[in-house]
Amino acid sequence: MHGESLTGRFNSATISCQVLSMLGSCDFAVAVTRAICSAGIISAIVGERGSHDRDRSVSRRCVATPNSFPPLSYPTPASSDSPIMAVKILHTADNHIGLSFRHYPDAVRDRLIGERFAALQRIVEIANQGSAHFITVAGDLFVRVTVGAADIKGTVDILKGFEGEGVLVLAGNHDYCEGPDSKLWKTFRKAAEGSNVMALTEPRAHDFNADEVPVRFYACPCPSKHGAEPGTGWVAEEAKPADMLHLGLAHGNVEGLGLDADNRYFNMTEADLRASALHSWLLGHIHVPAPEIGITGRPLYFMPGIHTPDSVKSTRAGQAWWIEFDAQGDCRFEPVVTSEIRFVRIAATLEHTSDIEALARRCSGLDASATLLDLQLSGRLKSDELQQLNDMVSELRDRFLHIALEHDIAEVLEPAAIASRFPAGTLPGDLLTALVADEEHPGDAHLALEIIESLS
């Protein structure tokens, strides 16, 4: 590349800096700076010149790219006008009760911890409102096997509020069950005694009757955090009575849906799932819902995603699947939003007052009290614009649940700022003043300042 060959010829930015420091006149210094900037030497060493240019002819207004979320309200199951099918299930997974959120301030941390329980409560309420027969939790109800007894009991107390046939809780890879002495699952079972909340920690079938429709769930729990083989292989060998609805419960990666290059997460293939000869599979582990909204027919499997976001990497609202099966296994399904908290990231390039105003408008459209906002800002602003931005961020901090701010914003060089740092008549002062006056190359002054500062 052109920049690479020039960089090799001049060896390093230090040489360029030394050349400038030895220049005898301001005019000559400006000319050499022009040549260096035009040749791309500084671009190759310091960074792309385009990132510094303050070209008002190019529109770079607040390039905001917030996370995309599905609508906050889907049609609720109870509102459907079509006939209700025989077996109704609210399917969730990867609830990760016990997350600590230690890197947040105490008040925010408490809100995020509370949201995980609150979203679980919403799942129970939605299931009750729709007269669901089952709530299925396909693994990772808890974030670790060492979760505290208080969190286990609090979780079970919420699930006990379900009024249907049963809450079926599968051991996942985070809350795996290595055997009958598992402290987590012994505590869970004790808390659930006498209720319809069941821990599924052994590979076996469980039979139910849902309004006279026989249903058999095939539980495929995780015996460890990692595993090369899925726990679903035994299902294909099981007898499947023709007069029953047959549904699998498993936790792990699905080949082609999630990434598992090292084959560590009980990787399942679609061929194996089909070979089990079940009507459908209710899965957990991948934090993105599947199938996609709009898919029709009977999916091979359902992956609900997470019930409430846990970081800015979570680009969707939390959800669960509402699924209705008839006695022959045909189904209809829809997602239901279960979260209140949102994480939103906005990346913006700020170069004018109008960019700051556009950013403020974007933020004003968010539900501030329930939003953790991640701002990633870059650009170049005048000193008064920087103050305007600081004032806006300060005001946002008062309204939003939490704000994280990363910025790489340079201050625009102005004659007054140059004079305050470099006395008139000095080479640096005269050089920068001359470069700032050239509106056709607004980035050159900043590049020259970087060289000057590297020498000091």
In a domain, residue 138? The reply is: yes
Q: Which residue has the higher pLDDT, 221 or 451?
A: 221
pLDDT of residue 415: 82
pLDDT tens digits for range 210-228? 998 999 999 999 999 999 8
Same domain, 26 and 44: yes
Q: Is residue 2 part of a domain?
A: yes
**Cis bond before residue 71 (omega within 30° of 0):** no
Pairing of strands 134-137, 319-325: unpaired
Whether 312 contacts 341, CB under 8 Å: no
Are 276 and 139 found together in one domain? yes
Residue range 3-25: mean pLDDT, rounded: 37
User: Tokens 């993105």 identify what position?
Assistant: 288
- Smallest Cα–Cα separation from 293: which of 254, 339, 259, 332? 332
Q: Which of 340, 367, 392 is the last residue of a domain?
A: 340
Q: What is the pLDDT of residues 87-126, one digit of tens each?
A: 999 999 999 999 999 999 999 999 999 999 999 999 999 9
Number of domains in the chain: 3
Cα distance between residue 103 and residue 311, in whole Å = 11
Rounded Cα distance, 206 and 217, in Å: 5
Residue that finishes a domain, picked among 325, 340, 355: 340
Angle, in degrees to the nearest 10, between helices 149-159 and 106-129 = 30
Which residues are bridge partners to 347 per DSSP?
Answer: 376
Which of 287, 311, 340 corresponds to the end of one domain?
A: 340
Distances from the Cα of 67 to the Cα of 140, 362, 371, angstroms: 25, 12, 12
Q: What is the mean pLDDT of residues 168-192?
A: 97
Quick one: 297 and 444 in the same domain?
no
Do 198 and 122 share a structural domain? yes
Which residues have CB under 8 Å from 217's CB, separation 6+?
A: 136, 168, 200, 205, 206, 208, 247, 248, 249
CA angle, corner 164, sides to 223 and 299, nearest 5? 60
Which residues have C-beta within 8 Å of that of residue 271, sequence separation ≥ 6?
none
CB 333 within 8 A of CB 74: no
Question: Where in 139-187 does DSSP place strands (E)?
Answer: 166-170
Nearest to residue 447, comparing CAs of 436, 406, 439? 436
pLDDT at residue 207 above 90? Answer: yes
Residue 141: is its pLDDT beyond 60? yes
Q: Please check whether residues 159 and 98 belong to one and the same domain.
A: yes
Q: What is the pLDDT of residues 415-443, one digit of tens each?
A: 877 887 888 888 888 888 888 787 777 67
Residue from 266, 317, 247, 315 nearest 91 by CA = 247
**Predicted confidence (pLDDT) per residue in 353-391, tens digit:** 999 999 999 999 999 999 999 999 999 898 899 999 999
Mark whether 361 and 320 lie in a shared domain.
Answer: no
Q: Which of these ranges, 44-53, 303-312, 355-364, has the smallest mean pLDDT? A: 44-53
Whole-structure pTM value: 0.77
Question: Is residue 48 over pLDDT 80?
Answer: no
> Is 89 contained in some domain?
yes
CATH number of residue 346's parent domain? 3.30.750.24
Pairing between strand 87-92 and 134-137? parallel
Percentage above 90 pLDDT, the chain? 63
Any residues with CB less than 8 A from the CB of 295 and at least 6 apart, and which? none
| Domain shared by 196 and 262, yes or no | yes
Question: What pLDDT was estimated at residue 365?
Answer: 95
Whether 76 is in a domain gets the answer no
In the chain, the N- to C-terminal Cα span, in Å, equals: 31
Give the integer Cα–Cα distance in Å for 448 and 429: 11
The token pair that represents 244 in the structure block = 């029953």
pLDDT for res 27:
54
Within a 10 A sphere around the Cβ of 447, how many other Cβ atoms?
A: 22
Segment 291-310 shows an average pLDDT of 90
The residue behind tokens 């985070």 is 174
Q: What local confidence, expressed as pLDDT, does residue 333 receive?
A: 94
Mean pLDDT throughout 167-179? 97
Statement to judge: residues 2 and 100 lie in one domain = no
The rounded distance, in Å, linking the Cα atoms of 96 and 192 is 19
425: alpha, beta or left? (left if phi > 0; alpha if psi -120 to 50): left
Q: Are residues 183 and 145 in the same domain?
A: yes
The most confident of the ranges 1-15, 28-42, 263-277 is: 263-277
* Calpha distance 172→95 (Å, rounded): 11
Amino acid at site 131: S
By the 8 A CB rule, do 362 and 62 touch?
yes
Report whether pLDDT(66) > 70.
no
Report if residue 75 sits inside a domain: no
Q: How far apart are CA 106 and CA 110, in angstroms?
A: 6
Q: Look at residue 73 and tell me if it is in a domain.
A: no
113 domain-assigned? yes
Task: Specify whether 328 is located in the same domain as 243.
Answer: yes
303: Cα separation from own chain's centroid:
17
Same domain, 351 and 446: no
Determine the structural domain holding residue 50 and report its residue range.
1-54+413-456
Q: In this structure, what DSSP letter does residue 174 have? A: S
Question: Among 63-67, 191-195, 444-448, where is mean pLDDT lowest?
Answer: 63-67
Report how far residue 416's alpha carbon sits from residue 437's, in angstroms, rounded to the nearest whole number. 12
What local confidence, expressed as pLDDT, does residue 292 receive? 85
Cα angle 252, 254, 255; round to 5: 135
Asked if residues 151 and 117 have their Cβ atoms less than 8 Å apart, the reply is no
The answer to the question of residue 105 being in a domain is yes
CATH number at residue 325: 3.60.21.10
List the Cα angle 145/97/398 in 5-degree steps: 140
Does 295 lie in the same domain as 362? no
- Split at pLDDT 50, 70, 90, the class of 16 is very low
User: Would you tell me how many other CB atoms lie within 10 Å of the CB of residue 140?
Assistant: 25
Q: How far is CA 250 from the centre of its chain?
A: 23
d(CA 96, CA 112): 12
